[in-house]
Amino acid sequence: MTSGPWFGTLELVHRTRGRARFRYRCRTGTPTDARTIERAAENIPGVLEARVNRAARSLVLHFDDKEVELETLRAALGALSAPLAAVRGSAVVEEGGPASMVASLATLAITRFLPQPLQLPVTLGAAAPLLRHALEDLVANGISSHVLEAMAVSISLARGDYTAANTTTFMLALGEYLEISIARRSDDLLKHLLRPASDEVWIERGGQEVLVAAGEVAVGDTVIVADGAVVPVDGTVLGGEATVNEATMTGESAAVAKGRGDAVLSGTLVEEGRLRVYAEQVGSRTAAARIADYVEQSLTAKSAAQLDAARLADRLVPIVLGLAGATYFISGDWRRAASVLQADYSCALKLATPVAFKSAMYGAGRAGILVKGGSALERLADADTFIFDKTGTLTAGTLAVTDSIAFDSTYTAEDLLCLAASVEEHYVHPLAHAVVTAARAIHGQHFDHQEVQFIVAHGVASVIDGQRIVIGSRHFVADDEGIDISAHLETVDRLYEEGKTLLYIGFGGRFLGVLALKDEVRANSAATILRLRELGAKRILMLTGDHRERAEELAEHLGLDGCHAELLPEDKARIVEEFSRQGARIAFIGDGINDAPALAGAHVGIAMQKGADIARLTADVALLEDDIACVADAKALANGTMALIGSNYRLTVGLNTGILAAAAAGLLSPITTAMLHNGSTIAILLNALRRSSV
C-alpha cells in the first residue's frame, strides 16, 4: 500500500497482463471526480486507458507492459499531484454540487412544519456534511473559514434556532455551488479554447462510414474528416485532399494543403475537402490534449498575487474568530457572535484571483496570445524594460529585393534578377528565396545552366552559355573570384549605407551587377513602441547582430532608448542578465533559436509567432499571430488583469469589513449576514470572471 500528495491510500487489488486495478482514497481537499482522476492517470507514460468507479473507489488501468513495469506505474500513481486542487477543502468538490444545495433548501422548507422533536435531527442531518468537513479541516489545517461557518451553524443549533441554522446551511451550500461553478467556468473556457474537439467522430468500419463517440476511436481506425470538421486525432492521411487550418496548433493562419502521406494534428480545422486519416494518437495522447494538459497544469502554479491573497485570508480567520468572541463577551448575545462568524474574507480572496487570471488567459488566447500561467501575466504587468531582438520582431524577418542594378548595358535589371534566380532557385537560403520570389513576380525568363556549386558562407556558382556565373558576398566575388568592382563602388556604398543586404553577381569574369535586399520594418513597430510607453514601459531597447550604423538608424527611427549591435548569440543573454542585476524587470521579445537563453533569463519572455520551436517553448508568452502589436496587447491585458485583481482585493476587504462591523453591532441577523456575505462573494467572483479587453 502506498500514498502520495493526491491519494491518501493506494492499494493494488488485482492484476493481469497489461491490466491492474487499484483501490484508492483521495486526500481531503483534492478532487475526487472520476474524469479528473482518469485524465491524470492517462497522462502517465505507458498507460493506454484509465477507468474509475468512484462509488467503489476503484481505478482500473490498461497499460503497455512492454513500455512500463507495474511497480513503476504504481510509483507514478503515488506521485501524482491533484491538477485542480479544491480551494475550500473537499466540501467544494463533494458537497458543493447541486444535490447538496437542493437538500439544504428542502430541509429549510419543511423543518418548520415538522413536529418539534423531529426538527433537531432533521436540521442536524442537513448540517452534518458541513460539520464533518469543518472538523476534518480543523484537524488538517487548524482554524479556517470553514470552521467559522460550522461554529455559526452550531451556535444556532445550540440555541434551538433551526430556521437560522437551516438558512445558514442553505446559503453556504448555495454560495459554494455558485463559487465553484464560476471557478470551473473559467477553467472550461480555457479548455474549450485549447481543445476544440467534437463528441462524435466518423470512422470506417466494415467498409462503411459510421458515427461513433469520440472516446471509442482507437489507434489504427480510419477517421473521416470533411468540410468544417475538427480533426479529432493525430495521424497520417491515407487518402483524399483538403486544405487544413492549423492556426490552433502552429499559429500559422494560412491554410495548408494536405494529401496522402501528410501528417495532421488534432485540433486543426478542415476548411475545404475531405480526408481519410489513419489514427496514430487518440484521446489524451493527441497533441491538442497534451497542450491542454500542459496549460491546465500551469494553472496550478500559484502566482505571487494568489499566494498573497491566500496568506491574507488565512491571517484574517483568527481575527474574525476573536471579533466573534469579543462581541459575545461585550454583548452576551450569541446571535451577534453567530452573525460575525458568517462573514469572512477567505472565499473571495482565495478564489477571485485565480478566476481573474484564467479568464484573462482565455481572452488572450482568443486574441492570438498564449499565456502560460497567471504568474506570466503578473510578471508582464511588472515589466518596466522591453528588449527586442531586431530580426523577425521589429522587422518582418523576411528579405525582399528592393533594387536590381545591372552594370552591363546588354542586360536589363529584369535580366539580372532572372539570371540570379535561375541559379539561386536550387539553394535553400532566405536570400535565395527572396530573389526567386522577386523573379517569379515579374514572370521573367529562365536561364539554363549547368550543375550548381554551393560555397558555404560565400554563395553559389554555375555555368551559363559557357561562362562562369558567381552570386554571393563581396568577399566571394571580389576577393575569391578576383572580379574588379572598383568602378561601381559609389553605387555599392550607397546601397550599403541605406541598410541593405547586397548580392554581388559576376559573369564571365566581370562585375555584372548587384541585387539589394532589405528586411522591412513592420508597419506598426513604431506605434507598438509608443503604446508600450503609454502602458508603463520606462526603457525600450533593441539587440541585433547587424552593423552598428544600421542598428542605430533603426533605433532612432522607431524611437527606442538605445540599441546593442554587432552581437554574438551568447551576448543577448549576457545583456539581459546585466540589466536584471541592475534591478530592471525585463520583457524580452525574440524568435530565434539563439534567443532562447535570453527568453529564459528575462523576467518574462515573449516569443513571436514565426519563432523557432525552442523559443516558443522557452517563452512565458507565445504569440499565435505574426503581429508585433500583440506584444502591446499582452502588456495591456496583463495591466488590466492586475488592476482588476487589485480592485477585487479592495472590494473584498471593504465589503466584508462593513458586514463584520454591522454584524458585531447587532444590526444584522445570522441569516442576513449569510445572505450579504455570500451575495457579495458571488458578485466579486463574477467581476473577476469579466475578461479584460485586449
Indicate which residues carry an active-site annotation.
Answer: 389
Distance CA 272, CA 268 (A): 12
Burial 246-270 (b: 16+ CB within 10 A, else e): bbbbbbeeebeebeeeeebbbbbbb
User: N- to C-terminal Cα distance for the chain?
Assistant: 51
CA–CA distance from 409 to each of 421, 482, 484, 513 (Å)?
A: 19, 22, 17, 10
Paired sense of beta strands 586-590 and 222-226, if any: unpaired
Grid cell at residue 389: 531582438
- 512: buried, middle or exposed (CB in 10 Å: 19+, 13-18, 0-12)? buried
The kind and range of the H/E element at 477 are none
Dihedral, CA atoms, 676, 642, 176, 99, nearest 10 degrees? Answer: 130
Dihedral sign from CA coordinates of 158, 159, 162, 164: negative
∠ CA 223-194-618 to the nearest 5 degrees?
115
Distance CA 399, CA 434 (A): 6
∠ CA 490-491-496 to the nearest 5 degrees?
100
Question: Letter for the amino acid at 485?
Answer: I
- The string of DSSP letters for 85-109 reads --SS-HIIIIISSHHHHHHHHHHHH
Return the CA Rg of the chain.
33
- The string of DSSP letters for 301-334 reads S--HHHHHHHHHHHHHHHHHHHHHHHHHHHH--H
The kind and range of the H/E element at 125 are helix 116-141
Grid cell at residue 249: 496548433
Is 555 in a helix, a strand, or coil? helix
Distance CA 264, CA 277 (A): 8
Grid cell at residue 65: 507492459
SS3 for 579-645 is: HHHCCCCEEEEECCHHHHHHHHHCCEEEECCCCCHHHHHHCCEEECCCCCHHHHHHHHHHHHHHHHH
Which residues lie below 8 Å from residue 653, measured CB to CB, with a gap of 6+?
345
Nearest C-alpha neighbor of 550 from the set 571, 560, 565 = 565
Burial 342-362 (b: 16+ CB within 10 A, else e): bbbbbbbbbbbbbbbbbbbbb
Distance CA 312, CA 500 (A): 58
Which residues are paired to 453 by β-bridges? 461
Distance CA 320, CA 659 (A): 11
Distance CA 264, CA 266 (A): 7
Widest pairwise Cα distance in the chain: 114
Q: Which long-range contacts (CB under 8 A, 24 or more apart) does 595-602 make?
A: 595/389, 597/570, 597/572, 597/573, 598/387, 598/389, 598/543, 598/572, 598/573, 601/573, 601/576, 601/577, 602/387, 602/576
Distance CA 663, CA 328 (A): 11
